[in-house]
Amino acid sequence: MTATLIDGKARAARLRADIATHVAPFKAATGRAPGLAVVLVGEDPASAVYVRSKGKATREAGMESFEHRLPVDTTSEALLALVRDLNVDPRVDGILVQLPLPAHIDTQAVLLAIDPDKDVDGFHPVNAGRLAIGAAGFVPCTPLGCLLLLQDIHPQLAGMEAVVIGRSNIVGKPMAQLLLQQSCTVTVTHSRTRDIAAHVRRADIVVAAVGIAQFVQGDWIKPGASVIDVGINRTETGLVGDVDFAAAQAVAGAITPVPGGVGPMTIACLIRNTYVSACRREGRPDGLGTAS
């Protein structure tokens, strides 16, 4: 058996194109385009690349991109003042403060200051609570992208056994909540879990988000399972995921590559969340389906 490759790049392109078709009638009805504000503090090279990618994807969807690049010595007070201005700016539907922030800035205070209804990253505790109870909010973009990839493979996820490796607030916990909403039976494993391999071996769905290169071994994978690899780890031989790809591909039914799997979906879901935010603020249906 050789697993089917889950092409996140192609799926993300389809999602962005779908959003673009909805943006045109939104603009015609409201007289404006949905707007995403991205804030970058400092000159971190990886963060700068992400910001450029997000701006490009936003503009390609026909939406407004508002980029705020601040010097590395920006104070917490100055950054909080900018966030407050963006909260009340009628042109802005989504606010994203690029992480990590410089060490002298209180990251938690900044994230808490973002209006939850413009928190298209889905990191605000209000949106975490909304996800937990199944209310409409914003889901972090990476787990949302993972769910959309899984739904392409399995239109009906109910009853499937899912194992999430990792319990971060950004991926692991919201991923588990999304799978629960789909009526999966979900196990969350982490650094204190006894015998992670035993849990993974019974899983129909494995989502690896642990941040350790090739942590998940091929003989852990149940034959025919779907494997979503969230990890991006730089090694001497290049980028690899949290899964031993070659070994897992020989056993799994479907698997995401690294790169080209989950990564492109993260940006596409950010664009999606921004468009959904604009529709909610204008009292319009988004027409994109049921995912939060």
Domain residue spans in the chain? 30-116, 141-263
Active-site position among 93, 117, 121, 204: 121
pLDDT recorded at residue 287: 87
Active-site position among 54, 118, 173, 222: 54
The superfamily CATH assigns to domain 30-116 is: Leucine Dehydrogenase, chain A, domain 1 (3.40.50.10860)
Topology given in CATH for the domain delimited by 141-263: Rossmann fold (3.40.50)
pLDDT recorded at residue 67: 96
Which CA distances in Å does 12 have to 16, 216, 260, 263, 265? Answer: 6, 25, 10, 9, 5
Distance from C-alpha of 158 to C-alpha of 151, rounded to nearest angstrom: 11
pLDDT recorded at residue 43: 87
Active site (annotated) includes residue 54: yes
Active site (annotated) includes residue 121: yes
Name the token pair of 63. Answer: 């939406």
pLDDT in tens, 79-116: 999 999 999 999 999 999 999 999 999 999 999 999 99
Name the token pair of 157. Answer: 């996820």
Active site (annotated) includes residue 214: no
pLDDT recorded at residue 237: 86
CB 179 within 8 A of CB 171: no
pLDDT recorded at residue 198: 98
Q: Output the pTM of the full model.
A: 0.94
Same fold for the domain at 30-116 and the one at 141-263?
Answer: yes
Which positions of the chain have pLDDT values less than 70?
Answer: 289-292
